[in-house]
Amino acid sequence: MKLYEYAAKGIFSKYNIPVPKSSLVTNARDAGEAARSLGKVAIKAQVTAGGRGKAGGIAIAGNEEEAGREAQRILGMSIKGLPVKKVLVEEYKKPQKEMYLGITIDRSARRPIIMASSEGGVDIEEIARSSPGKITRAHIDPLAGLHDYQARKLAFSLDRGNSDLIADVVKKLYRVFSDHDCILAEINPLALAESGVFALDAKMIVDDNALFRQDVEGEEPDPLAALAKKNGMSYVGLDGDIGCIVNGAGLSMATLDMIKQHGGDPANFMDVRAGANEEQVRTALRIVSSNRNVKSILINIFGGLTRCDEVARAIIGMRAEIKVPFVIRLAGTNEEEGRSLLEKAGITLATSTEEAARRVMELGHSH
């Protein structure tokens, strides 16, 4: 779960990581009142998508009137499909220096990794491309925890003159990361200002598997993903227009890659998982086709525990309900029965994932 900035900063504050004073508001009047008490402020859209600044979701206001006007503008926005319902009115801290500090999981090393860079304010991926030598990394033993010498080394790489203050933030950020079962805890930028160092932005992603023991406020759940989970399936919405229904995470990823290779854009990741029955496939079709951006659907089933004949019956039963064309590839358990059922219903099949991806592109899409 991605946390909103205000929620992440609330957690940071509890761990004594310095953050600017702020007020969360839902209307222009309250934004103006907050600015009256805070002075010069930053008005920041509260969405879990990145790129708020480039989308116009962050503004600086010097007085109450400006704050109200900018808040009104931002509250009417949609950023990457997410409506802005709240803004954070935050005391403006002029940064003398912007740095990056983040902790995530290095899956190849099977432990957390801290990354620090003196080039803050931009995505870490951009820093890695443009200035890889300006990133300092340190792996953390999950049993021993973060050592003081590691925190000092990271702090020295950012600003030697303020290394004590920064090392303290490094140690506290790791406590946040560990205590809240994070897969990401990030400060970008960590700013040096006249009165000290401050987390001007905050990003936290909590492991979904640990949410039962974490009391956090994050992104609103995707109703389609929630419905899929309720029915024992996995669904992740994407930005494309080709719906995908596949069994198995590996085959799902391969199918998405094949679509991209042929110039298409998947609308979703959908894994109906091994052993999916007829009713689950029907539900998957309803979920994927309910996305208004979907112009065609690719169904790619490799039958192991999943029976191809059950998949075929589900598709035939839903054909009248699905308003977009689809391409089907079936292989594995009861493949001949499944293919026979579909052929009798006048539905043609692809013989491979590559053929299915190529044919779904011929049905019409945004490219």
Same domain, 108 and 44: no
Same domain, 349 and 249: yes
Please provide the DSSP assignment of 119-136 as one string. Answer: --SS-HHHHHHH-GGGEE
Given a cut of 50, is residue 50 above it in pLDDT? yes
The mean predicted confidence, pLDDT, of the chain is 91
Here the CATH number for the domain that contains residue 41 is 3.30.1490.20
For the stretch 132-171, pLDDT in tens is 888 999 999 999 999 999 999 999 999 999 999 999 999 9
The reported pLDDT for the residue numbered 221 is 64
Separation of first and last alpha carbons in the chain: 32
Same domain, 49 and 82: yes
Which percentage of the chain shows pLDDT scores above 90?
70
C-beta neighbour count of 195 within 10 angstroms: 8
Residue 256 forms part of a structural domain = yes
For the stretch 248-283, pLDDT in tens is 889 999 999 999 999 999 999 999 988 788 899 999
Strands (E), the chain: 22-25, 41-45, 58-61, 78-79, 82-83, 87-91, 97-106, 111-117, 135-139, 182-193, 196-199, 203-206, 234-237, 242-246, 268-271, 296-303, 326-332, 349-350
Average pLDDT over residues 33-50: 93
The residue among 34, 62, 91 that closes a domain is 91
Same domain, 105 and 142: yes
Confirm whether 186 is a catalytic residue.
Answer: yes
* Cis bond before residue 189 (omega within 30° of 0): yes
Question: What gap in Å lies between CA 83 and CA 74, rounded to an integer?
Answer: 10
The three-class DSSP label of residue 62 is coil
Helix H segments across 159-222? 163-179
Average pLDDT over residues 289-298: 90
Average pLDDT over residues 69-92: 92
Question: What gap in Å lies between CA 123 and CA 21, rounded to an integer?
Answer: 24
The reported pLDDT for the residue numbered 130 is 82
In the chain, the number of structural domains is 3
Residue 8 forms part of a structural domain = no
For the stretch 299-356, pLDDT in tens is 999 988 888 999 999 999 998 888 889 899 999 889 899 999 999 988 878 989 999 9
Given a cut of 50, is residue 366 above it in pLDDT? no
Residue 366 forms part of a structural domain = no
The residue among 76, 91, 106 that closes a domain is 91
**Where is 224: in which H helix or E strand?**
helix 223-230
The reported pLDDT for the residue numbered 305 is 82
Residue 3 forms part of a structural domain = no
Residue 47 lies in domain: 21-91
Of 4, 6, 92, 100, the catalytic one is 100
CA torsion 210-211-215-219 (nearest 10°) is 130
Same domain, 232 and 354: yes
Same domain, 80 and 104: no
Contact between 103 and 174 (Cβ < 8 Å): yes
The residue among 213, 237, 258 that closes a domain is 213
Same domain, 338 and 227: yes
| 349-350 vs 326-332, strand pairing mode | parallel
Same domain, 195 and 239: no
Same domain, 130 and 199: yes
Residue 367 forms part of a structural domain = no
pTM of the full predicted structure? 0.71
Here the CATH number for the domain that contains residue 292 is 3.40.50.261
Same domain, 80 and 190: no
Average pLDDT over residues 109-122: 92
Rounded to whole angstroms, what are the CA distances from 315 to 285, 308, 309, 327? 8, 11, 10, 11
Residue 9 forms part of a structural domain = no
Of 70, 186, 310, 335, the catalytic one is 186
Here the CATH number for the domain that contains residue 118 is 3.30.470.20
Single-letter code of the amino acid located at 7:
A
Question: What gap in Å lies between CA 342 and CA 321, rounded to an integer?
Answer: 16
Residue 190 forms part of a structural domain = yes
Closest CA to 11 of 256, 176, 201: 176
Given a cut of 90, is residue 124 above it in pLDDT? no
Same domain, 345 and 267: yes
Same domain, 121 and 57: no
